[in-house]
Amino acid sequence: MIKTLLKIISKEQFCFMDANDLSTLEAEMPNLPVLLRFGSCRKQVDAYRAKTEIENQEAYGTHLRDVSISSQVLTEMAQSPFVPLSVKEAIESIRA
């Protein structure tokens, strides 16, 4: 769980994720909010709902641009006493 999250929150990915990362988050951290950016809108949904929302938007002809963890979620994670120190350090390193 932490390994995938640290990979996403790194200077290589800057909180953006691919389909494999999203599948892993869906299984391991289903309630983590992810930001879906489409051609015509943005939506923030829990990881377990992301694939359904992507399918719904694409059915209306809107293409998915990218999936990421929003800065608001990162701020909340950095302030939470329940988030491991390694994750907090990763958040600080991409903001530095």
Q: What is the mean pLDDT of each successive set of 10 residues along the chain, which is 96 residues long?
A: 91 95 96 96 97 95 96 96 96 92
- Whole-number pLDDT of residue 5: 94
> Which amino acid appears at position 2 of this protein?
I
Q: Is the pTM of this model over 0.85?
A: yes
What's the confidence (pLDDT) of residue 71?
A: 95
Supply the pLDDT for residue 96. Answer: 83
CA 39 to chain centroid: 18
Packing angle, helices 47-59 and 19-28, rounded to 10:
130
| The one-letter amino acid at 27 | A
Tell me what percent of the chain is helix, strand and coil, each rounded to the nearest 5. 50, 20, 30
| The pLDDT of residue 24 | 96
